[in-house]
Amino acid sequence: MERYCVLIATFMLILHLVQAQNPTGLINVGCGLSTREPPYRAPGTGFTYTSDTGLVNSGETGKIAREFEANYSRPFLTLRYFPEGVRNCYSLNVSRGTKYLIKAKFVYGNYNDQNIGPDFDLYLGPNLWTTVTKNDSIQEIIHVTRSDSLQVCLVNTGNSIPFINVLELRPLPKSAYVAQSGSLKFLFRRYLSNSGRTIRYPDDIYDREWHALFLENTWAQVTTTLNVDVTNSDEVPQDVLAAGATPLNDTETLKINWDLEPPTSKFHFNMYFAELQTLKANETREFNVTLNGKIIYGPYSPVLLKTDPVLKREPFECADGACLLELVKTSKSTLPPLLNAIEAFTVMDFPQMETFEDDVIGIKKVQDAYVLNRTNWQGDPCVPKQFLWDGLGCKYSDISTPPLITSLDLSSSGLSGNISQALQNLMHLEVLVLSNNSLTGEIPAFLADMKSLMVIVLSDNNLSGSVPRSLIEKKGLMLHVNNNPHLSCTTGSCVNEGENVPRKKKSIIVPVVASIATIAVLIGALVLFLVLRKKKKASKVKGPQPSYMQASDARLSQPKNRRFTYSEVITMTNNFQRVLGKGGFGIVYHGFVNGTEQVAVKLLSHSSSQGYKEFKAEVELLLRVHHKNLVSLVGYCDEGDNLALIYEYMSNGDLKEHMSGKRNHFILNWGTRLKIVIESAQGLEYLHNGCKPPMVHRDVKPTNILLNEHFEAILADFGLSRSFPIDGDTHVSTVVAGTPGYLDPEYYRTNWLTEKSDVYSFGIVLLEMITNRPVIDQSREKPHIAEWVGLMLTKGDIKSIMDPSLNGDYHSGSVWKAVELAMSCLHPSSARRPTMSHVVIALNECLAAENSRGGASRDMDSKSSIDVSLTYGTEVTPMAR
Ligand SMILES: *[C@@H]1O[C@H](CO)[C@@H](O)[C@H](O)[C@H]1NC(C)=O
Ligand SMILES: *[C@@H]1O[C@H](CO)[C@@H](O)[C@H](O)[C@H]1NC(C)=O
Ligand SMILES: *[C@@H]1O[C@H](CO)[C@@H](O)[C@H](O)[C@H]1NC(C)=O
Ligand SMILES: *[C@@H]1O[C@H](CO)[C@@H](O)[C@H](O)[C@H]1NC(C)=O
Ligand SMILES: *[C@@H]1O[C@H](CO)[C@@H](O)[C@H](O)[C@H]1NC(C)=O
Ligand SMILES: *[C@@H]1O[C@H](CO)[C@@H](O)[C@H](O)[C@H]1NC(C)=O
Ligand SMILES: *[C@@H]1O[C@H](CO)[C@@H](O)[C@H](O)[C@H]1NC(C)=O
Ligand SMILES: *[C@@H]1O[C@H](CO)[C@@H](O)[C@H](O)[C@H]1NC(C)=O
Ligand SMILES: *[C@@H]1O[C@H](CO)[C@@H](O)[C@H](O)[C@H]1NC(C)=O
Ligand SMILES: *[C@@H]1O[C@H](CO)[C@@H](O)[C@H](O)[C@H]1NC(C)=O
């Protein structure tokens, strides 16, 4: 008994030593193997198969049925199957840029007692590798890895539950199996021998599996016991080359045929030849190789005891997928043709790039940090698009550019702990939604350093501390922090609009001009002021929330349920009967809600609505912004692929139509034009100053200024431009956010977006109201309107600037003030442009002047007294487009 135990112990020790002995880089995964049992060591190859636990997060383990057990060796007896989820993936650590021979093995073996053979897809990363349909198959591919991890994914296509038994990876040298492009999907690999033996590792150091092929009644076996020189043959084993076949009948050809699936597949193949017999002086072996009757190689004579691989790399096709390869003896040959081995591959182009690797690493870190257990968070996060991870939004440029992760929505995900540092790794993130969790701790300042991040929703958590100043000050950022009861403000930082900031500013500015003596007094006062204020703050925490939070809360008041189904959208628009217009993101239709309320339904086109999560985040924001000069969202539809925004209907169309006279036959008079621009300016002013944090419209132009039944101007399309693909991501210089002609040249140059970019665009709109001329007109002396007006002003040709159809019916002081204002809005330096608040005030003065005129009095004579200050330099280059 004791001896028996010692024996077992020794055995275990040997087993243990053996475990670590897989040659470096080789990966052998026994899917469904239990971690409780020791890893399995295959007798023939000596490979150790380890459990797949840790390589895949999902699936269940199974065993093939008893009656099949006798026919398969051990690693095939267990398997992992995936009853849940559409895509389930193995994630393997590999080295980037390495050529691997990848084998996936499937034995159905009625493991589920249902007798339904396999029918599911196999993906390599984001690309379809093959469809598994045989009860018993090996899928093999030679593929160069693009990152440090390789995803092998099984995809349920609705026909059967995916499963897998064995996964093997063998690194190959770069020089082996060079494909012109793409990866090489295995078709077959045979050596011509009647031994019936399969040759693989360790005879084949790459662990290719060479199956014997022999046609008993038509072929004659030729073998040698001598060594065959295998240099330059991609390490094809001796045993493979030491056998070959010739046709039994000397006058016949040597034939091999196979079928292609699908029949149109392109393939290429390698033939291995070595003369195994010493030929007599009067003997020759020479032959041609034909494929379906066409000579593709030859005349050729094998070299004695030396391999000579013939690699046919031009992609071949066979009519109807039926291939017949023949070795045809030439006339001078005395011996029949000889072939030793052959392998064939189909060329697979894997065009879809994987998601940007740092983003993948980043999202995995986030997943780890929050121990997120999501069934569809497997494989590539962004591609293929149909398997986009829940909660993510990605930016897709083209198939050969890695997609980027641009939005992350982990709302209502039960997150606890701090806002994780791991989020920093997602450097392309534009929208981050972490609302309705149990997050605690402070809001980290690193969020402000994430360059692309423009929307942060942290509401309904238990965050504490204060909102970092850098976040509050970040231009264009939208931050939502309401319903975090313990979140408070640091000195001054939260109060954007309150009385404290200006007062504090004053107390700092005053000492600069005061005498040294008064400075000491003032500093004392300032300290006292700050101390008192802090106290006040501290007591405030228990009381009502600080003004910043309140403002934000008010705006984030719970939206009504304004979500519509797609069928409601169809009913609403009477099956998309009346088209109102076509925008950058889709077509706009007319519709009715509740039978009477007219609406405009913007159906987002599939090509543009790629950022689904961004759409959602945007909807939530739009539902909460209210101002009389901003179009309000009535609701939205979010059903599968169908995304729609439903706005209030503006019965009088847009400003551009009115200016062009397309809509009505009357001309908008100067007073009406002023009223419209004032209202538009008020809408913009609200976006800039009434929203906290401020919003930048980014696409101010007459087509986005709508007119309601009372001819009131309503600004449309705000916000959307920021989160949709038109978005000028800082590193994408080809994508221009905004409309040519209206685009702020400084923003265009620096990618630095501020509210002043809207001021610039507004200045262009104002010039259009004054001149009623196209923004860009190549036939003009100066194509761009701003340059043209500038030129006219320097020439002193003031009258030609005005819209002639106004017939001089305006208060000239009013007009010239407007020209001056427009030009100041167009100052090349954004810092020197006025704010929208200033613009609203100035325009109201213009309107007052116009109204003071009364009737149709013309005071053209006063124009000489107006001193137009030119702030627009002619050195500014016009828009490139
Ligand atoms: C096992 O293999 C043998 C020989 O290849 C075959 O006859 C038999 O049907 C197989 N058994 C099962 C259960 O597939
Ligand atoms: C894969 O690599 C990562 C990082 O290097 C490591 O944390 C992980 O444990 C590795 N996984 C396996 C299965 O080796
Ligand atoms: C595969 O297995 C299924 C279920 O056991 C069986 O119905 C089918 O005939 C098998 N297919 C082949 C090609 O053996
Ligand atoms: C060899 O093939 C030729 C041509 O196909 C045929 O005429 C001849 O009978 C064959 N010989 C034998 C021994 O089968
Ligand atoms: C080749 O030479 C050998 C003698 O060396 C002879 O027996 C044989 O018949 C010859 N074969 C041919 C095809 O001439
Ligand atoms: C073999 O190929 C050569 C050159 O391609 C050709 O001239 C010759 O006729 C071919 N011989 C046979 C038997 O096909
Ligand atoms: C993940 O969730 C599933 C159910 O949704 C559960 O069965 C599984 O145990 C969870 N895994 C982890 C690691 O929590
Ligand atoms: C908040 O999250 C909980 C679960 O964590 C969920 O039940 C609830 O519906 C969520 N509330 C909202 C408003 O999304
Ligand atoms: C969470 O953040 C707080 C500061 O906000 C820090 O003191 C604490 O150590 C953090 N906890 C974890 C688990 O990171
Ligand atoms: C929220 O955090 C505070 C500490 O900052 C803690 O006292 C309180 O219990 C937390 N509330 C919840 C609901 O977790």
91-124 confidence digits (pLDDT tens): 999 999 999 999 999 999 999 999 999 999 999 9
Higher local confidence (pLDDT), 368 or 726: 368
pLDDT confidence of residue 523:
39
Q: What is the mean pLDDT of residues 665-687?
A: 88
Atom of ligand 10 at shortest distance to CA of 440?
Answer: 2
The verdict on the CB of residue 135 being under 6 Å from ligand 3 is yes
pLDDT confidence of residue 199:
93
Q: What is the mean pLDDT of residues 515-521?
A: 35
pLDDT in tens, 256-303: 999 988 888 889 899 999 999 999 999 999 999 999 999 999 899 999
Rounded Cα distance, 325 and 287, in Å: 13
pLDDT confidence of residue 549:
27
CA max distance for the chain = 123
pLDDT confidence of residue 654:
87
Q: How confident is the model at residue 160 (pLDDT cuts 50, 70, 90)?
A: very high
Looking only at the bridges linking them, the beta strands covering 455-457 and 431-433 are parallel
Mutate to test the pocket of ligand 5, among 250, 279, 282 (most ligand atoms within 8 A of CB): 282
Which residue has the CA at smallest separation from atom 8 of ligand 1?
71
CATH number of the domain at 185-350, out of 1.10.10, 1.10.287, 2.60.120, 3.30.70?
A: 2.60.120
Closest ligand to residue 108's CA: 3
Which residue has the CA at smallest separation from atom 8 of ligand 5?
282
Is 699 in the active site?
yes
Q: Spell out which residues line ligand 1, taking CB within 6 angstroms.
A: 67-68, 71
- Look at residue 342 and tell me whether its pLDDT is greater than 70: yes
pLDDT confidence of residue 492:
33
Q: How confident is the model at residue 865 (pLDDT cuts 50, 70, 90)?
A: very low
The rounded Å distance from CA 274 to ligand 4 centre is 26
Higher local confidence (pLDDT), 622 or 206: 206
Which residue has the CA at smallest separation from atom 11 of ligand 4?
249
- Look at residue 380 and tell me whether its pLDDT is greater than 90: yes
SS3 breakdown of the chain: % helix, strand, coil, rounded to 5?
30, 25, 45
pLDDT confidence of residue 614:
58
Q: Which two three-digit tokens encode residue 495?
A: 């109060």
The rounded Å distance from CA 252 to ligand 4 centre is 7
The rounded Å distance from CA 297 to ligand 6 centre is 9
Q: What is the mean pLDDT of residues 387-395?
A: 90
Nearest alpha carbon to residue 686 among 734, 629, 770? 629
Q: How confident is the model at residue 613 (pLDDT cuts 50, 70, 90)?
A: low
Q: How confident is the model at residue 692 (pLDDT cuts 50, 70, 90)?
A: low
- Look at residue 585 and tell me whether its pLDDT is greater than 70: no
Pick from 23-37, 448-462, 496-510, 667-681: least confident: 496-510
Nearest alpha carbon to residue 429 among 410, 456, 402? 456
Domain boundaries, the chain: 20-172, 185-350, 357-515, 548-648, 655-852
Alpha helices in 604-707 (DSSP H): 612-622, 655-660, 670-685
Q: Which amino acid is at 62?
A: G
pLDDT confidence of residue 730:
31
Residues with Cβ within 8 Å of 545's Cβ and at least 6 positions away in sequence, in order, are 553
pLDDT in tens, 740-766: 888 888 887 777 778 899 999 999 999
pLDDT confidence of residue 119:
95
**Dihedral sign, CA of 236, 240, 241, 244?**
negative
- Residue from 359, 638, 699, 744 carrying the catalytic annotation: 699
Tell me if 20-172 shares its fold with 357-515. Answer: no
CATH architecture of structural domain 357-515: Alpha-Beta Horseshoe (3.80)
The rounded Å distance from CA 328 to ligand 4 centre is 15
Rounded Cα distance, 870 and 865, in Å: 15
> Average per-residue pLDDT in the chain?
80
**Dihedral sign, CA of 144, 146, 151, 154?**
negative
Atom of ligand 1 at shortest distance to CA of 70?
Answer: 1
Neighbours of 852 (CB within 10 A): 11
CATH number of the domain at 655-852, out of 3.40.50.1100, 1.25.40.80, 1.20.1260.10, 1.10.510.10?
A: 1.10.510.10
Atom of ligand 6 at shortest distance to CA of 290?
Answer: 14
The rounded Å distance from CA 438 to ligand 8 centre is 11
The rounded Å distance from CA 148 to ligand 2 centre is 10
- Look at residue 367 and tell me whether its pLDDT is greater than 50: yes
Which residue has the CA at smallest separation from atom 10 of ligand 10?
462
H or E stretch at 759: helix 755-771
- Look at residue 189 and tell me whether its pLDDT is greater than 90: yes
Please say whether the beta carbons of 156 and 82 come within 8 A: yes
- Look at residue 79 and tell me whether its pLDDT is greater than 80: yes
Q: How confident is the model at residue 545 (pLDDT cuts 50, 70, 90)?
A: very low
Residues with Cβ within 8 Å of 348's Cβ and at least 6 positions away in sequence, in order, are 127, 129, 141, 182, 183, 184, 185
Mutate to test the pocket of ligand 10, among 439, 463, 486, 488 (most ligand atoms within 8 A of CB): 486
Closest ligand to residue 110's CA: 3
Please say whether the beta carbons of 302 and 309 come within 8 A: no
pLDDT confidence of residue 698:
82
pLDDT confidence of residue 854:
61
- Look at residue 875 and tell me whether its pLDDT is greater than 80: no
pLDDT confidence of residue 734:
29
- Look at residue 493 and tell me whether its pLDDT is greater than 50: no
Q: Which fold has domain 548-648?
A: Phosphorylase Kinase; domain 1 (3.30.200)
The rounded Å distance from CA 115 to ligand 3 centre is 7
Atom of ligand 3 at shortest distance to CA of 110?
Answer: 5
- Look at residue 485 and tell me whether its pLDDT is greater than 60: yes
Which residue has the CA at smallest separation from atom 14 of ligand 3?
135
Closest ligand to residue 289's CA: 6
Rounded Cα distance, 863 and 704, in Å: 32
Higher local confidence (pLDDT), 866 or 132: 132
Which residue has the CA at smallest separation from atom 6 of ligand 5?
282
Q: Spell out which residues line ligand 2, taking CB within 6 angstroms.
A: 54-55, 93
Mutate to test the pocket of ligand 1, among 71, 73, 113 (most ligand atoms within 8 A of CB): 71
Which residue has the CA at smallest separation from atom 12 of ligand 5?
282
Please say whether the beta carbons of 146 and 401 come within 8 A: no
Which residue has the CA at smallest separation from atom 3 of ligand 6?
299
Please say whether the beta carbons of 272 and 244 come within 8 A: no
Q: How confident is the model at residue 408 (pLDDT cuts 50, 70, 90)?
A: very high
The verdict on the CB of residue 440 being under 6 Å from ligand 9 is no
Closest ligand to residue 114's CA: 3
pLDDT confidence of residue 449:
92
Atom of ligand 10 at shortest distance to CA of 486?
Answer: 5
The verdict on the CB of residue 332 being under 6 Å from ligand 5 is no
Q: What is the mean pLDDT of residues 683-691?
A: 82
CA angle 529, 530, 535 (to 5 degrees): 100
The verdict on the CB of residue 464 being under 6 Å from ligand 10 is yes
pLDDT confidence of residue 867:
30
Q: Spell out which residues line ligand 6, taking CB within 6 angstroms.
A: 288, 295, 298-299, 328, 330
Is residue 185 annotated as involved in ligand binding?
no
Residues of the chain with pLDDT > 70, as a percent, come to 80
Which residue has the CA at smallest separation from atom 1 of ligand 1?
71
The rounded Å distance from CA 465 to ligand 10 centre is 12
Closest ligand to residue 415's CA: 8
- Look at residue 693 and tell me whether its pLDDT is greater than 80: no
Kindly report the CATH number that applies to the domain delimited by 20-172: 2.60.120.430
Q: Which two three-digit tokens encode residue 168?
A: 């093997």
Q: How confident is the model at residue 362 (pLDDT cuts 50, 70, 90)?
A: very high
Mutate to test the pocket of ligand 9, among 418, 463, 490 (most ligand atoms within 8 A of CB): 418
Q: How confident is the model at residue 471 (pLDDT cuts 50, 70, 90)?
A: confident
Q: Spell out which residues line ligand 4, taking CB within 6 angstroms.
A: 249, 251-252
The rounded Å distance from CA 283 to ligand 5 centre is 8
The rounded Å distance from CA 566 to ligand 8 centre is 24
- Look at residue 877 and tell me whether its pLDDT is greater than 70: no
Higher local confidence (pLDDT), 551 or 678: 678
